[in-house]
Structures are given as C-alpha cells and as structure tokens.
Amino acid sequence: MVGHATIEWVYVGVVIALLTWVGAESWNVERLVEHVPPDAETIKVIAQQWFWSFEHEDGKKETGQLHVKQGVPYKFELISKDVIHDFNVPDYTILMDAVPGRVNVVWNLFDTPGEYRIQCREYCGFGHATMKAKLFVEPFSQTAEAAAAAATSPAAESQNATSNATAGQTPATPVQSAGPPGKPLTILQGASVQGSPNFDPDTLTVKKGDKITVTNKDTLPHTVTSGTGPADPNN
C-alpha cells in the first residue's frame, strides 16, 4: 500500500507541476499580447465596406495600403463605420475584430521587411472577398537615417558653405531629371465603393495628343473614357 501511495503522490505532483507551467506560460502570453509598449506608434485602422483606411500619428492617411517600419512597435486602434469586420494579417497572425461603436486594440512589431496581405476575416457583404489591402514593411536602417540627419543638420550645411567659399566655388545647381512621359492616372483602391474617400475622382487636365498612363490599384475593373458619354468611340 505504501508503494502505491508513493506512485500516486508522484503522479499528482507531476500533474500539478504541468498545470502550473501551462498556467504561467498562458499568463505570460496574455501579458505580452495585452501590454502595448509605451513607445509604440499608433495607427488608426478604419474598416468600411469594402476597403481599409489607415491614419498615422503624424496625420498621414492611406487607403488600400499601409507602410510601416521594420523593428518599430505599432498599436492598431480598430473601428468600423458600418458592420463587423476582422482585421487580419495572416503572415503575422494578427486577428482582431473591428466593431461599430467600439475601439479594439492590437499591437505588433514587424521584424521582416517585405509585402504582406491584409484581409477581412469576417463576412461583411457581397464585396467581402475584395476587402483587401497591402502591408509594406520597410527596412529600417539606423545608419542611413543617421547619415541623412547629419547631412541636413545646420552644422553640416555651415561646414559645406565654408568649404565652398574657401575653394571659391558656388554650390552646384542640381539637375532635375525629366519626368515620365505622358500624364499618370491612378485609380486608387476603394474607388468603386460609394462613401470611400477615393470614390470621387480628381480632375485630370490634358492637351490634345497627350499620352495618359492608367494604373488601376482597385480590386475591381474600371473603364476610362473621355467623359463625352457611353457612345464615346474612345472608351
């Protein structure tokens, strides 16, 4: 009987140790997920049928694409203007609901530069499958940024001016390269959705004979016309 009791107590001790370890690890993961770093940059994510919009801390706004830096923590504040959506970046296992009337928060640090897919994982209507955006993680080069900051600092400009004056030279005038031929016309993502900030097109003024280069960044096909009507032979 004594031998059996010893085995049972060992078994109970092992089970308690495993449960304690699982609980501690779960608490640690939950703490990491919910604890937003104090130096995280805030990005407001706005979900709306059927496109994504983003607002950065500095006021910069993006639609259909989001640019972030490698190695920088970001806090995403998610809201929805209509129905429930789900903000999902599969490659980084980011998944959080965007609910009308509520602000949900999730954060992440992107460690690998590249282009990734943002999608909606909650069915939100007939355009659900096209509710996508692109995430661009730009490589962060501290050395390059430090060099650029040093080059544009007042001390560097003063030193360059002194060197030019000593050598009897005048600063060279930069040569501007010729722009691309023709007039660029870009159809932004969300241009097919009424209510989107990209729904109403801007005016493009061209001259007779000008070449127009059209780029469609929307998820749906578009037709470009001269605006004279559906019978226009140049559709």
The pLDDT of residue 56: 96
- Cα(55)–Cα(58) distance, integer angstroms: 8
| Within a domain: 202 | no
- Cα(222)–Cα(27) distance, integer angstroms: 50
Could you tell me if 59 and 9 lie in one domain? no
Burial 36-72 (b: 16+ CB within 10 A, else e): eeeeebebbbbbbbbbbbbebeeeeebbbbbebbeee
Could you tell me if 102 and 122 lie in one domain? yes
Could you tell me if 49 and 134 lie in one domain? yes
Could you tell me if 120 and 46 lie in one domain? yes
Could you tell me if 25 and 102 lie in one domain? no
User: pLDDT, tens digit, for every residue of 142-192?
Assistant: 545 544 555 555 554 555 544 444 444 444 444 444 445 567 878 876 676
| Within a domain: 54 | yes
**Boundaries of domain holding 59:** 41-138
Could you tell me if 50 and 105 lie in one domain? yes
Which CATH number covers residue 48? 2.60.40.420
Could you tell me if 127 and 104 lie in one domain? yes
| Within a domain: 149 | no
pTM, full prediction: 0.56
Percentage of the chain lying above the pLDDT 70 cut: 66
Q: Where are the alpha helices (DSSP H) in 78-229?
A: 142-151, 154-167
Domain boundary among 107, 138, 169: 138
CB neighbours of 192 closer than 8 A, spacing ≥ 6?
A: 199, 218, 219, 220, 222
Two tokens at 71?
């190695």
The DSSP element (H or E) to which 48 belongs, if any, is strand 41-48
Could you tell me if 87 and 112 lie in one domain? yes
- Cα(197)–Cα(30) distance, integer angstroms: 37
Domain boundary among 86, 117, 138: 138
Confirm if 87 and 47 have CB atoms less than 8 A apart. Answer: yes
The pLDDT of residue 219: 62
Could you tell me if 72 and 114 lie in one domain? yes
User: pLDDT, tens digit, for every residue of 27-41?
Assistant: 555 555 567 888 999
> 153-161: long-range contacts (C-beta < 8 A, 24 or more apart)?
none
The pLDDT of residue 166: 44
First to last CA, the chain: 93
Could you tell me if 126 and 111 lie in one domain? yes
Could you tell me if 75 and 127 lie in one domain? yes
| Within a domain: 235 | no
Q: Based on the structure, what is the number of domains in the chain?
A: 2
Instruction: From first to last of the 235 residues of the chain, give the pLDDT tens digit.
Output: 555 677 888 888 888 888 887 776 665 555 555 678 889 999 999 999 999 999 999 999 999 999 999 999 999 999 999 999 999 999 998 999 999 999 999 999 999 999 999 999 999 999 999 999 999 999 977 545 544 555 555 554 555 544 444 444 444 444 444 445 567 878 876 676 655 667 667 777 777 777 878 888 776 677 777 666 555 544 4
